[in-house]
A and B are shown apart, each in its own frame.
Chain A
Amino acid sequence: MSERIREKLAILADAAKYDVSCASSGSKRKNDNKGLGNTGNGICHTYTSDGRCVSLLKILLTNFCIYDCAYCVTRKSNDIQRTAFTVKEVVDLTISFYRRNYIEGLFLSSGIFKNADYTMERLVRVAKELRLEHKFNGYIHLKTIPGASDELMKEAGLYADRLSVNIEIPTESGLKLLAPDKDRKDMIQPMNFIKQEIIQNKNEIKLFKKAPLFVPAGQSSQMIIGATKETDQDIMYTANSLYKNFNLKRVYYSGYVPVSHDSRLPSFDSAVPMLRENRLYQADWLMRFYGFHVKELLNTETPHLDLDIDPKLSWALRNPNQFPIDINKADLQMILRIPGIGVQSAQKIVSARRFQRLNWENLKKLGVALNRAKYFITCNSTEFERRNLSSMQIKQYILASSSSKYLKSNVAQLQLF
């Protein structure tokens, strides 16, 4: 029996690993029924050899699938070994791993067998059994199957901490090309439904404290990057609309890992666009935590993010009229826009300057990356950048003074599209 489980686990973990979401935070499920587990800020229990965190048991319920999406390793036409877990097997694995402190919980997704409802019903059954029969209070992330009924979606929300629907391809035309059987509408509809239910649940909790939790860690989504010829602008505008319209907690960007010889896709030996992925995450952070509007970062003049410098620096170089900024006077919103200053340093600057005017030395101690910031600020010092440098010159100086961890290995990737 053990050998069979081992084989299934290998196949179904292999198939699930391209989903990059690993968050186990954002939920506050307490262990107040003397059961097993709780959730909090999330813990990464280990890291794979590619450096990604492992916090959840991330598996597919099955890799049988009726769809034939070109970018997906479990597509119908792919000649691979197919298998499926039973509900009981998933429950047992989750509990046993959790008790040994291997994981924070379960991330369950699935290929689609028979139809959406049939698949979704089984996913919900796993979560239900964990919660009700095993008093499991750890983290559960369920993938919602596009096209599943509202009733099932609602039931899923009662047991899961997070639900996610993957938008898969950033543009509708890209989706039509690579996954002709899938419809964007089927992905948007459940997002909207979950959003409404979450809002309703929040109101209920205000009225009755004991109202049952509904998806306390919110919903997320994922896009595959570099499988079709979309621009960074397409990607980030889609992400922006997901954040705005459906209150998503996270959008994940997953660089396409070649899994097929399909002529519609990048060739089988092309590199994973890791640097591009990194820049997209930086832009995503700028939107969510730094007060940037997506249009400031990407627009018809600059449809792609620079690969050699980060998007904040690139914005600053395009807008030299905004600088230099006086560190001792500017408000937080403006300080956040200075290259080389993160959210933490910005907040420290704002609280520290109440006691003393800050100079270069102070800024360095607070953790500011002066090699970038020095071209854009003045502080309590007679020394500052007096030369009238052009944006191009500043960029050259900064590039010369730093070394990117990506550029060495991925130069070839820069010219892909």
Chain B
Amino acid sequence: MISSPFDPMTILIYDGTWYGLLSCIFDVYEYKLKKISVTTKELFQPDAFSKTHEVFTSPANAERVLKGLSKKLSPTGMASIYSCHLSELPEMASVIIRYARLLFSSGISEKAYGNPDVLKIAQVAKKVGRERHRMKAFIRFRLTQDDIYYATIEPDFNVLPLIVSHFKNRYADQKWLIYDTKRSYGVYYDLHTTEEIQLDFAENPEKPTDTNIFAENEEQYQTLWKNYFKHVSIDSRKNTALHLRHVPKRYWKHLTEKQV
């Protein structure tokens, strides 16, 4: 699709979801849109010169787009665009749509890093992947009285969907709940399946004032862990810069061993 300066700009308005974004790609072809920009319902600000097009999220259309993309991309490439969507960076929706158009129309390779959009997808996917790995490492469960291992997280990117299977495989015999307090949703595993849930907190979810929600010996294990952490360090080798590079300060809030 070649756009000319006379083509009107169309603003696509979608609901911010993954299927919504894929529906945008579908509509670009369905309505033969040329020059587009994309925004979510919350961020949309009308202007006098552009047409708007509201995208209705259609799972069927989204699946068709996914099927089409999977013919152009390796499984890693597919995972990369999903990761880019989960980055929630405002510019990524446009990048993903442009990238999809590139793939469909020019048959460009996902490894042609000379193209700025191809490079951007790879770079953002890498960032999200890094945080996904960090979350696998930095999640700290606390045992509640209901026998649920509970953890709160506040990742920069929305990586919770990317770590569910890891925790499900690893902790198959314990009930757990990982809650993203920044995005107000969590995933709960009941020994059989996982489901997305939203909690209704009366107060700040990270610091339940009612310490009674945790099991009797929970604090004891936290103390043991903190104590262990302190004793494995070798003072004569202290290297704070290296420590900070591996454990950036923004993650400390949820790390048991970093609490006083």
**Chain A interface residues toward B at CB < 8 A:** 2, 5-6, 9-10, 13-14, 16-18, 30-31, 34-38, 43-54, 57-58, 93, 96-97, 99-102, 135, 257-258, 271-272, 274, 365
A331 to B243, CA, bound (A): 38
Known: A6-B224, A43-B136. A36 touches B246 (CB 8 A): no
Proximity bits, B203-239, A CB within 8 Å = 1, else 0: 0000000000000010011011101110111111111
Known: A34-B172, A57-B228. A46 touches B223 (CB 8 A): no
Residues of A within 8 A of B243 (CB): 47-51
> Are B239 and A50 in contact, with the CB atoms below 8 A?
yes
Q: Which of A46, A135, A257 contacts B234 (CB 8 A)?
A: A257
Residues of B within 8 A of A258 (CB): 236
Known: A38-B169, A101-B141. A18 touches B174 (CB 8 A): no
Q: Which of A5, A35, A100 contacts B172 (CB 8 A)?
A: A35
Q: Which of B140, B151, B228, B247 contacts A9 (CB 8 A)?
A: B228
Proximity bits, B127-146, A CB within 8 Å = 1, else 0: 00000010011111111000
> Are B255 and A274 in contact, with the CB atoms below 8 A?
no
> Are A46 and B227 in contact, with the CB atoms below 8 A?
no
> Are A58 and B232 in contact, with the CB atoms below 8 A?
yes
> Are B236 and A257 in contact, with the CB atoms below 8 A?
yes
Q: How far is the CB of B196 from chain A (nearest CB, A)?
A: 20
A399 to B23, CA, bound (A): 56
B27 within 8 A of A: no
Known: A50-B239, A96-B221. A9 touches B227 (CB 8 A): yes
Q: How far is the CB of B226 from chain A (nearest CB, A)?
A: 10
A10 to B238, CA, bound (A): 19
| Overall SS of chain B's interface | helix
Residues of B within 8 A of A2 (CB): 217, 220, 223-224
Q: How far is the CB of B112 from chain A (nearest CB, A)?
A: 9
> Are A46 and B173 in contact, with the CB atoms below 8 A?
no
Q: Considering the complex, which residues of chain B in the window 240-258 have a beta carbon less than 8 Å from any beta carbon of chain A?
A: 240-243, 245-247, 255-257
B171 within 8 A of A: yes
Total A-B residue pairs with C-beta atoms closer than 8 Å?
A: 132
A100 to B221, CA, bound (A): 9
Question: Known contacts A46-B138, A100-B149; can you find 6 more A-B pairs with CB under 8 A?
Answer: A46-B257, A51-B237, A96-B221, A135-B173, A258-B236, A274-B237
B67 within 8 A of A: no
Residues of A within 8 A of B139 (CB): 101
Residues of B within 8 A of A272 (CB): 234, 236-237
B170 within 8 A of A: yes
**Minimum CB distance partner of B221 in chain A:** A96
9 interchain residue pairs of minimum CB distance: A51-B242, A48-B233, A50-B237, A47-B246, A51-B239, A13-B231, A100-B141, A49-B233, A17-B232
Most interface-central of B133, B169, B170 (chain A CB within 10 A): B170
Residues of B within 8 A of A102 (CB): 140, 225, 256-257
A237 to B227, CA, bound (A): 39
Residues of A within 8 A of B133 (CB): 43
Q: How far is the CB of B187 from chain A (nearest CB, A)?
A: 14
A257 to B236, CA, bound (A): 8
Residues of A within 8 A of B256 (CB): 100, 102
> Are B137 and A44 in contact, with the CB atoms below 8 A?
yes
Residues of A within 8 A of B228 (CB): 9-10, 13, 57
A53 to B243, CA, bound (A): 9
> Are B231 and A36 in contact, with the CB atoms below 8 A?
no
> Are B142 and A13 in contact, with the CB atoms below 8 A?
no
A36 to B238, CA, bound (A): 34
> Are A46 and B221 in contact, with the CB atoms below 8 A?
no
Residues of B within 8 A of A99 (CB): 141, 143, 149, 171, 174
Residues of A within 8 A of B255 (CB): 46
Most interface-central of A96, A100, A271 (chain B CB within 10 A): A100
Residues of B within 8 A of A31 (CB): 169-170, 172
A262 to B256, CA, bound (A): 39
A48 to B246, CA, bound (A): 10
> Are B234 and A48 in contact, with the CB atoms below 8 A?
yes
Residues of B within 8 A of A37 (CB): 170-171
- Can you sample 19 A-B contacts with CB below 8 Å? A2-B223, A9-B227, A34-B172, A43-B136, A44-B137, A46-B255, A47-B242, A48-B234, A51-B239, A51-B242, A53-B246, A54-B232, A96-B221, A96-B224, A100-B225, A101-B141, A257-B234, A272-B234, A272-B237
**Minimum CB distance partner of B225 in chain A:** A102
A410 to B77, CA, bound (A): 45
Q: How far is the CB of B184 from chain A (nearest CB, A)?
A: 22
A44 to B242, CA, bound (A): 14
Known: A43-B137, A274-B237. A13 touches B170 (CB 8 A): no
> Are B137 and A34 in contact, with the CB atoms below 8 A?
no
Known: A6-B223, A18-B234. A48 touches B229 (CB 8 A): yes
> Are A48 and B236 in contact, with the CB atoms below 8 A?
no
**Minimum CB distance partner of B174 in chain A:** A99
Q: Which of A9, A16, A34, A53 contacts B224 (CB 8 A)?
A: A9
Known: A46-B257, A100-B142, A101-B139. A35 touches B173 (CB 8 A): yes
Residues of B within 8 A of A50 (CB): 233-235, 237-239, 242-243
> Are B137 and A36 in contact, with the CB atoms below 8 A?
no
